[in-house]
Each structure stands twice: as C-alpha cells, then as structure tokens.
Structure 1
C-alpha cells in the first residue's frame, strides 16, 4: 500500500521494463532462463500478485502461492494440469495471505516441503490462532490508543480474523530460510537476503548467475511497500528497518532483473532505492509540518493518505501512520506522550518544523 504522494508515473519512467503487461490469470510468461511468471487475482484495490515457477517438470519450485481461496486453487489446478509440472518444493517470501494462502493446500496436495523463515512461520501461526498479541482485541486497542474512533474500532471487531480467511491453514512443519544462506532451486544457486519493516523476516532471493532478484514485497516498481507497527511492537521503527533493508540490495549488479510481487518486472535497483529514500523523507517532512500541535495517528490519516480508505486499507494505513510517527520520534524530530484520556499523541520539536 502506498502513502501519497509518491508519483507513480515518475517512478515508472525512471525504471526499465522488459515487458509491458503481466500474464492473464491461468497463463504463464517466460521471464528469465528457467523462470516462468504467473499472476493471480486479488479481491482488493491492489488486484494481483506475481508468483514464480522455477524449473519445470518434476523439478518445479513454486515461489509464493496466492490467496487461499477457491478461485486461486482452481487456477493452480489448471496451470499445473496444463504444464504437467510436478512441484518439488514451495518457497514463501513471507506470511501475508496473498503469498502464503495456498501453501498448505499445495504442500499437502503434491506432498512437498514449504521453505520460509522462522519469524514468518511463527507469526503466521500466531495470527491464525490469535495469540502472542496478534489478535483482534489487541489490534483494536492499539488503534484506539492512537485515536481511532469507536465506530471504526467496532467495525474491525465485526470483521473478525481476516488473516484466517485468506490463509485457511499453514504447514505444521517447514524448512528454514536464513539470511545469507545459499540454496539450490531448480539447479540454480540463490542467496537469501532478509528484509524487515514490511514483515518480520521477509526472504528475497538473488541468483547471481541469472542476475535475477525475486524481491517479494521489499522492492516494488510503482507503489511503496507498506511498513507497519503491530500491537505487539508498539514502538517499533519499521520505516528505518525497511530503509536499511532495501539498501542491502544496493550492491547488486546494475543489470539485475527485479521480479516483484506486484507490478511489472524491472531493471533499476539503485534508482528504485533512491526513489524510496526520497519518498519516505518527503513523508517525514509532510508529517512534521502537520505536527505543529499534538495529534494522534488517526488524525493524520488524511495527511499521509489522500484518498478514501476502506476497512482493509484503513488497517494498513493506521499501521503505516504509526510507523512514520515512531520514525520521526526515534530521529528526535517529534515527541510522544499519552494523555489522561489514554490517547497517544505526537508533536514536532520546534527545530523540526520549517
């Protein structure tokens, strides 16, 4: 989810794209040697996710799986029936429903292991079981402390466990991905580059022989990756963790082809990193200008998100607004206090306001 106003047209123009359209649902496009690209629909404003098949035949590796719903399962059945591929393993970049939703079903159907990082595995299970501070009451209380009105808090309560609707189940066993490890997938060696801020231990994969980065959600060409602060980590500086993470891609070769989870594959890793730095710096400036008096995160939604938010978007927007407030506070540009009414408010320090 992108906070405004990163200019999508400017972001697109500065990058280079080898293809101009994504594959239709149920179809495949070869995008690099031994890599096929498929796109699954999503029922959100962000209406698709890119998935990747590495190799072919009985050495096919699935990278991310799509939402765990009937339409996505039907598309998977059609794709694998038409290609004759037999998956041998599944790799998940992170726990989010559009990435992990079909993982258990695919693993059980084809009898193959799921690879993911430890933090993503446990957080997915925590959300499924509403434990360890990753439950609806904790989220609602978190948003309430940041000024969200009772009417919208109640709507979150009524929505229930949305994660479980997109991820009906997760494997009870997995193989662990660890930062810096190299793994062989479909005959090619891939290095794991972990990222933070968007999710707790997001796995991106880089193959030097192919000059390909499967970036997941960490590096997207058109929108800025959502960074958020969950109830269990109320003072986390997710913005800085994200920025530090994307800078880990800066040393990749300039001819690296980036395969993102949303949008089109692109060239221009270093350019995109610079754009993201500039975008988040600009968001800090806009936020600080609005903090001339103490304000709660909910009062600042319109400052960072200049469009009408549905409930799905509101959840991400609250988390991202809190993340930016924590970021400017951690930088010493704002202060945080909690009033007698229990609401957390932030105000810019005088020197931070131009």
Structure 2
C-alpha cells in the first residue's frame, strides 16, 4: 500500500507541474483530464502527508521519552505520542478506503426512475412522495433536478416518474437507492382505518454519453404526436411529444415535458441511452455475481431495501438493519444519515473482501 502511495505522490507532483505548462493550458481536453486527475489524487496525497507527519511525531516522541528526565516534558511527550498513534490508525483506515477501486460511473449525473408497484392508487401516491423526498434531498446538496417524464394520476399520485439529477458525484451517492421501497400506513382512501402495505421501485442509472452507448438508426423508430395530460401550453396543440421504440430491447420511451419537439427528443434519447447502459452494467454485474453480492450499491432491483412505517414514525433500511425514528424529516429529504451508513457498510464489505484475498 505504501509503495503505491509514494507513486501517487510523485504522480500528483507531476500533474501539478503539467498543469502549469502553457501547452497543456491551451489543450482543453488534456487540461480537463489533468484537472480531474488532480482532483482525484488531492485527498489521497493530503491524507498520506498527514499520516507521514504523525508517523514522524511518534518517532520524535519516543526519542524524547528516552532522553528526557523532566517529568512534565515526559507527560507532554506521552500525550503527543498517544494522539499521533490514534491519528495514524484513523488515517491508515482512511487511506485504505481512498485506495479502494473506484466505480468509473461515480462522478456521473444520474437518471432516476420511480414506478408505483403493489397497492394501486396508494402506491402511486407513495411514488410521488418518494420523488418529492429525492427532490428535497438533491436541492439541499445544491444539485439540480430535471424532470424527464411523469405519468400522473388524478389525485396527486404518479404511476411512474423519470428525472435527471445533475451534480458532481451524484451516482456515487444515489446508487444506493435502487430497489423496492415499501410503505405501511392507513391510506386516505381506507374508510375502515386498516394499515395497508404498498410499494414502489426505484432504479438509479448513470447518465450515458453517446460514447458510452451507440444507438443504430435502424434499431430505432421515432414517432411524434400531440402531447396529452394535465394542462400546459403544448398539450393537444402541437406535435411536440416524442415516442422512441428500440427494436432490439423493446424499450419504449415517451417524452412530452417540453414545448419543443427537439427538446423532448433529446430527453427521450438521454433516457434511452441511460436504460441501455444500465442493461450493460446489469449484465456485467450478473457475470460477477459474488462481487455484486459484496457491494451494497449494486443489489438486486427486485430486493426490498427499505420500509417506511407511518404509524410508528420509523424508517428501516433492511440491508444494514438501520432503523431511524424520524420519518417526517426523512420524507422531507433528510436521508443523508441513511446514505452515509450505506456508504460505510459498502466500504467495509469491500475492505473485508480485499483482506480475504
């Protein structure tokens, strides 16, 4: 590990020197790539420098304890020794995590698809609430939400919602939300006061660029039509809605959120690329079944991951047996504690797998 860290420090210094060269500054693509590499290396180099400094402090403190006769100075040296030992232990763990293989999609924007599952109208209402939960969370981080498509019901529910989240590292955090979310509560439509269980599924997909996924013209059919649904200037007035049919997979994308046919077409293709890219990722993960099971962020899409129990005011994440009694805050987007716990558990699983090798 330490040989690798030394190499990374040398590479970091090399990158910093390259960034100051005029030839590099004039080459936009190379400059961006080096800035990205510098950004990735900086936290590792900083942690390693702190680690090296504390290791030196340990040596200095031990030497001082051997030579020093003054009791007060000895106590200070012992105190510094203990502090540095604790920091070395902490930084060693931090460096191990920083050196874990990185998911190449982690820095990407994401496309999230929420679909109402079992539970009829109540499931659609729950899907709409889960969407609002994510919107609040995304906005609290300063990221942006762009609605791609929504199939609304008459009483405020949503049969399905597709939206993009734009923000650095969005996929690295939101990928843990893929799976089946379950709600237990008395629906507003229930006259007998009985608790009902309903579900919605969440799929989090990394945004795919054209270089990631090539779509052949012969594999696609594009239909344009008049938009339909609730209100909006473009509804039933212009042929602005776009439907894409991808023959090889049978995927159909419908986009009508924009007034412009061109914008709807762009959104439809972005969603199709993300779905095709996600299918490729799923194939890779299926081929590495054991690896997939060890990583919390890439679990089975059909797996029930979380329960929102309204009568008890609790949320339970079943993957890590975490229960929090702050349902109202969570439904308002306060999900960072859950995500932090999932990230920590995922890192621990990866570290354990590395140690077993």
- TM-score (normalised: structure 2): 0.22
Of Structure 1 and Structure 2, which has the larger fraction of its residues in helix?
A: 2
Which of the pair has more CA radius of gyration?
Answer: 2
Greater relative contact order (CA < 8 Å, ≥ 6 in sequence): 1
